[in-house]
């Protein structure tokens, strides 16, 4: 690597070192610290790990968070795909650009504000239940349920997944799609045998982003899910609030990081895996 190339790469290396690796190592080290009189003391003790890993509620939160993030990833991927497909293959370049611009607009406003706005829609006296009431249905409890949480996650993530999927699909070589059609593939087979495999990397990366962001999100499960049951980010907050147990919260955070590393590594392996030759 020449000096010029290194100079260009240096900012991101320094940035990642200072603001990712540094804090990560500190967090891992902190998980071994102790808290005495609300003050953290440097130590190398396994007490926090032993305590947190043997608590049933920690594992309940873990599996619940994992399940919720996986569910929203599946839902977001399936809901986003038809829209992304239409934007990639059925509309003009200009329309696609406008659509992507419109999909970005929600990010201009605070996620917290967007989440709170769902109160008006999901409440028992809210828009949905009032609508259902006119045809004699409901009211249904939507707030403070996993449904509310998933709606909150989708508020944040659906536009992002649509954008990433659209970019992945739009970059497919149309000649290959056309060739499949010319060779007599029906539309369904073209989709699953040609389009999806060609866009696989982008589709998996979109799903991965969805999983990572929902796994670590605090706002939706707290404000729309009623913290019932708490997800891991809520557990982190609870742990720090009571007795300022930052080291125990760090244990939960490290658990989350390890999980995300494992899932991200698997996803990237799947995304870039080459098909074995026949």
Which residues of the shown chain bind another protein in the complex (CB under 8 A)? 37-39, 55-58, 60-61, 64, 119, 123-125, 141, 143-144, 222-223, 225-230, 235, 238-239, 241-245
The answer to whether the beta carbons of residues 46 and 254 sit under 8 Å apart is no
Question: CA 237: distance to chain centroid?
Answer: 19
Is the Cβ of residue 141 or residue 259 nearer to another protein in the bound state?
141
The answer to whether the beta carbons of residues 165 and 203 sit under 8 Å apart is yes
Is the Cβ of residue 2 or residue 242 nearer to another protein in the bound state?
242
Q: What's the min distance (Å) between Cβ of 38 and another protein?
A: 4
Q: What's the min distance (Å) between Cβ of 260 and another protein?
A: 21
Is the Cβ of residue 106 or residue 126 nearer to another protein in the bound state?
126
Is the Cβ of residue 92 or residue 242 nearer to another protein in the bound state?
242
Q: Give Cβ neighbours of residue 86 (< 8 Å, ≥ 6 apart).
A: none
Q: What's the min distance (Å) between Cβ of 229 and another protein?
A: 5
Is the Cβ of residue 216 or residue 226 nearer to another protein in the bound state?
226
Is the Cβ of residue 87 or residue 150 nearer to another protein in the bound state?
150
Q: What's the min distance (Å) between Cβ of 243 and another protein?
A: 5
The answer to whether the beta carbons of residues 33 and 247 sit under 8 Å apart is yes
Q: Is 90 left (phi over 0), alpha (psi -120 to 50) or beta?
A: alpha
| Spatial separation of the C-alpha atoms in residues 165 and 169, rounded to whole Å | 6
Q: What's the min distance (Å) between Cβ of 133 and another protein?
A: 14
Q: What's the min distance (Å) between Cβ of 224 and another protein?
A: 10
Query: Of 95, 77, 270, which Cα lies nearest the Cα of 170?
Result: 95
Report the DSSP beta bridge partners of residue 39: 36
Q: Give Cβ neighbours of residue 78 (< 8 Å, ≥ 6 apart).
A: none
| Spatial separation of the C-alpha atoms in residues 250 and 49, rounded to whole Å | 9
| Spatial separation of the C-alpha atoms in residues 254 and 246, rounded to whole Å | 12
């Amino acid at each position: 690597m020449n000096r010029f190339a290194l100079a260009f790469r240096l900012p991101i290396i320094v940035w990642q070192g200072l603001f990712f690796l540094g804090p990560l190592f500190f967090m891992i080290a902190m998980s071994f610290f102790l808290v005495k009189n609300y003050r953290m003391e440097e130590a190398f003790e396994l007490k926090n790990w032993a305590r947190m890993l043997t608590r049933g509620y920690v594992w309940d939160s873990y599996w619940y968070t994992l399940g919720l993030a996986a569910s929203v990833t599946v839902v977001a991927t399936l809901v986003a795909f038809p829209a992304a497909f239409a934007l990639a293959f059925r509309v003009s370049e200009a329309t696609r650009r406008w659509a992507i611009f419109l999909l970005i607009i929600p990010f201009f406003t605070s996620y917290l504000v967007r989440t709170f706005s769902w109160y008006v829609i999901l409440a028992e006296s809210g828009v949905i239940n009032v609508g259902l009431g006119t045809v004699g249905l409901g009211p249904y409890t939507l707030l403070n349920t996993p449904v509310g949480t998933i709606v909150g996650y989708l508020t944040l993530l659906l536009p992002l997944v649509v954008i990433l999927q659209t970019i992945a699909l739009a970059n497919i070589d149309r000649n290959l799609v056309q060739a499949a059609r010319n060779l007599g593939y029906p539309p369904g087979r073209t989709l699953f045998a040609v389009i999806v495999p060609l866009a696989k990397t982008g589709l998996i990366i979109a799903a991965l982003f969805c999983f990572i962001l929902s796994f670590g999100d605090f706002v939706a499960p707290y404000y729309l899910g009623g913290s019932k049951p708490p997800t891991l980010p809520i557990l982190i907050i609870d742990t720090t609030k009571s007795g300022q147990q930052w080291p125990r919260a760090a244990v939960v955070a490290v658990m989350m990081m390890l999980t995300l590393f494992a899932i991200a590594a698997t996803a990237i392996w799947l995304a870039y895996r080459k098909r074995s030759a026949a």
